Amino acid sequence: MTQITANLDDRLLKEFRDVIYNRSGLRKGDFKKSLEAAITEYITKYSNKNS
């Protein structure tokens, strides 16, 4: 497991957390799962393997 430290726009992070909260209640682990899903979706969408 790797830890990532990044500076994000406050509004972007708030919107991301709001979406997670509205979808699942923001229980323990929901942020991590949602971030991993977003990264996986980004990789799938933009990976050269899909060209």
Q: What is the pLDDT of residue 50?
A: 55
Of the CA atoms within 13 Å of residue 6, those in its CB half-sphere come to: 9
Single pTM value for the model: 0.78
Q: What is the pLDDT of residue 51?
A: 55
Q: What is the pLDDT of residue 14?
A: 97
* Angle (CA) 20 25 46, round 5°: 20
Domain locations in the chain as residue ranges: 10-50
Q: What is the pLDDT of residue 49?
A: 72
What confidence tens digit (pLDDT) does each residue in 1-51 have? 899 999 999 999 999 999 999 988 878 899 999 999 999 999 999 998 755
